[in-house]
Amino acid sequence: MPTLLKKEILDQGDIPTHIAIIMDGNGRWAKARNLPRVAGHGEGINSVREIVRACGEIGVSYLTLYTFSSENWQRPRTEVSAIMKLLLGTIKKEIKNLHKNGVKLSSIGNLEELPKDSREGILNGIEMTRNNNGLNLILALSYGGRQELLMAIRRIADKIQSGEMEKDQISEEKLVNELYTTNVPDPDLLIRTGGEHRLSNFLLWQSAYSELYLSDIFWPDFRENELITAILDYQARQRRFGKTGEQIS
Ligand code: FPP
């Protein structure tokens, strides 16, 4: 769809500030074509490229992609290593173009658990783009929502133990300060592709009031038109944050 037309349609409603996506269905996309699972991840990269570009053009400020979960380490070793290679190869290949387009790359999750070359590739990309002020592209890598909450709780416990904080000072704000996503607004729209209806340990704290959009489409087939459909669906909803409809309108 031409950029102008796209903007004209979407600008009639709220553009979500933060979109988070659970990119699911790569394996099934490949299986349906008698291809190895990794071919699905490879094609998934083309969706990543298209969705990143579209989000930049639409004026989304933050895009978080669930790229590799804490639990994904349990997959067969060959698949894990193929995903890590794909990740590094993609960053190396795309980073100049992302940089040129003002994208600021960052990550959430335990990067320490990644193989050294993949970790360094990500860190180089983060460093190269750190002064950009276009789309914030956040890759969730070795990320788990429960693990993130445990990390935050431990950090708060350390502060209490050292006398830096009192127990009574624990608040939502103090907890948010210890999450990977401190300084990032909560997702307005959380998309899951691939037909499953669950959060799978993604942004458990941050998604408390996110609008969920569940699509049956496998990630490699989820492209710009599907994103626009999701945003239009989001725009048709009323976000009440626990209040009544009358209070909102
Ligand atoms: C889920 O599909 C997909 C993943 C766990 C990996 C996604 C990773 C990529 C597309 C590479 C991303 C790279 C960058 C640079 C962001 P699945 O394998 O769980 O599919 P299935 O449910 O059909 O088995």
Q: Taking residues 180-202, report their average pLDDT.
A: 98
Percent of the chain with pLDDT over 70: 98
Tell me which residue range forms the domain holding 180: 4-237
How many Å lie between the centroid of ligand 1 and the Cα of residue 78? 14
Does ligand 1 lie within 6 Å of residue 65's CB atom? yes
Q: Rounded CA gap, 210 and 71, in Å?
A: 23
Ligand 1 in reach of 217 Cβ (< 6 A): no
Work out the burial of residue 65: count CB atoms within 10 Å of its CB; fewer than 13 is exposed, 13-18 middle, 19 or more buried: buried
Please report whether residue 248 resides in a domain: no
Domain count, the chain: 1
Q: Please give the number of the atom of ligand 1 that sits closest to the Cα of 37.
A: 18
CATH of residue 228: 3.40.1180.10
| Catalytic residue numbers, as ranges | 24, 72
Q: Show the tokens assigned to 40.
A: 């699905």
Q: Is the CB of 203 under 6 A from ligand 1?
A: no
Q: pTM for the whole thing?
A: 0.95
Q: Which two tokens stand for residue 165?
A: 């904080």
The mean pLDDT value for 39-47 works out to 98
Distances from the Cα of 141 to the Cαs of 111, 216, 237, in angstroms?
A: 7, 24, 31
Token pair of 190 as six digits: 């959380």
So what's the pLDDT on residue 238? Answer: 79
Q: Determine, yes or no, domain membership for 249.
A: no
Q: From the CB of 106, is ligand 1 less than 6 Å away?
A: no
pLDDT at position 2 over 80: no
Distance 40 CA to ligand 1 centre (A): 8
Given a contact cutoff of 8 angstroms between Cβ atoms, the answer to whether 161 and 128 are in contact is no
Q: Is residue 65 a part of any domain in this protein?
A: yes
Our answer on whether the CB atom of 25 is closer than 6 Å to any ligand 1 atom is yes
Q: Between 85 and 249, whose confidence is greater?
A: 85
Q: From the CA of 44, how far away is ligand 1's center (Å)?
A: 7
Mean pLDDT value across residues 27-32:
98
Whether residue 149 is predicted with pLDDT greater than 70 in this model: the reply is yes
Structural domain contains residue 162: yes
Asked if the structure places residue 79 within a domain, the reply is yes
> What integer is the mean pLDDT of 10-30?
94
Q: How many residues would you count in the chain?
A: 249
Ligand 1: which residue has its CA nearest to atom 8? 67
Please state, in angstroms and rounded to a whole number, the distance separating the CA atoms of residues 4 and 16.
Answer: 18
Contact in structure between 219 and 193 (CB atoms under 8 Å): yes
Cα separation, 38 vs 85, whole angstroms = 11
Residue 243 lies in a domain: no
132 Cα–ligand 1 center, Å: 27
Phi, psi of 136 (to 5 degrees): -85, 110
Asked whether residue 89 is domain-assigned, the answer is yes
Whether ligand 1 lies within 6 angstroms of the CB of 72 is answered as yes
State the distance from the centre of ligand 1 to the C-alpha of 24, rounded, in angstroms: 6
The number of the ligand 1 atom at minimal distance from the alpha carbon of 65 is 16
pLDDT at residue 13 in the model: 87
Question: Could you tell me the pLDDT band of residue 246, with boundaries at 50, 70 and 90?
Answer: confident
Answer yes or no: is pLDDT of 54 > 90.
yes
Report if residue 156 sits inside a domain.
Answer: yes
Give the rounded distance of the alpha carbon of 64 from its chain centre: 2
